[in-house]
Amino acid sequence: MKRLSPHQLSEIMPGLTTPRAAGTEPDELPRLLNRQEMEELRQEAAVRTVRIMALVMPPRPYRQEAMVYVGHAAWIGQQADGSHPALISSTDWLQNAQQIFLIDDATRQALRDFGVPLAGDTHPGASRSRKRGISALLKDRPESLVELRATRQEPTLNLARLEFASERHAREHTPATGWQLHDHRSGRVPAQIFSYSPERPEVIEPVIFYDAGGIDEAYQFYVPNSSMAILGAPLFSHSGKLIALNALRNPERADMGLAVPPAALNHFMKSLSGD
């Protein structure tokens, strides 16, 4: 398998990476959203964004108790064929997962009951379970878990599609519509950008996009930004359009997120219609 640099990726699929967008101003600055509009936007984000957890076994000789990673996935669509929205996350943190689960209310309570600490953490990340732990939860209360499967992964784009293992869970948890995608073709970035995480469900947080020229070449594919909500968290405009999915933190700057760019997200979603 040949390793590609971000610049080579742009040559193969022109326009897939759009670092110039981070420094482009809109034609006209909109007015600030009022309190009611902010609340409506937060409610939309809450419906279209979910928490998910991935169970990853540590390498031997470490004790073989699953590590629990908690991140995000976004409902996007409807798709071009009119089908239900697709559940999308970044894929780098899911590639080695033995199992993936949606965190709904029942799962959240089960995590608390079995002492899995990430149930109440402010920021998603990795942790080992305590008390009875995740293994006991899997064994003793599997009915409280909603399993997902990564049915399509594109490591080059750092995106994955997730689907429910159970048709019943799909009917219960799939919304009628998801995020509509921001039109990235103009190269302009909306004047107001926000992030949302169910870890802090009461707020949406303003986000700044940084100039991509100042980050290491290895991360030039991504759009650098100020959001600390990562692992698939949505970045969206004041008009409720999904711009990007925040994938990871910059290893060289803990206060900088790195988001899968809009063109890559659009490309991935279009490719799903042929699955």
Domains of the chain: 31-45+180-272 (2.40.10), 49-173 (2.40.10)
What residue type is assigned to position 232 of the chain? G
Choose between 193 and 5: higher pLDDT: 193
Question: Which runs of E-coded beta strand occur in the chain?
Answer: 49-56, 67-76, 86-89, 99-102, 126-128, 146-154, 159-164, 180-181, 193-195, 205-207, 223-225, 233-237, 241-250, 253-260
Residue that wins the pLDDT comparison between 28 and 18: 28
Q: Which of 5-9, 81-85, 105-109, 164-168 has the lowest mean pLDDT?
A: 5-9
**Intra-chain end-to-end CA distance of the chain, in Å:** 23
Residue 83: which residues within 8 A CB-CB, separation 6 or more?
A: 77
* Percent of the chain topping pLDDT 70: 81
> What pLDDT, on a 0 to 100 scale, did the predictor assign at position 186?
73
Instruction: Check whether the bond before 61 is cis (ω within 30° of 0).
Output: yes
For residue 53, pLDDT over 90 is answered with yes
Q: Give alpha helix (H) positions in the chain.
A: 6-12, 35-48, 105-113, 133-140, 167-173, 262-272
Distance in angstroms (rounded) separating the CA atoms of residues 223 and 193:
13
Least confident of 45-49, 105-109, 120-124, 227-231: 120-124
Name the least confident of 123-132, 138-147, 149-158: 123-132
Residue 127's pLDDT band (cuts 50, 70, 90): low
Q: Is the pLDDT of residue 1 over 60?
A: no
pLDDT at residue number 61: 87
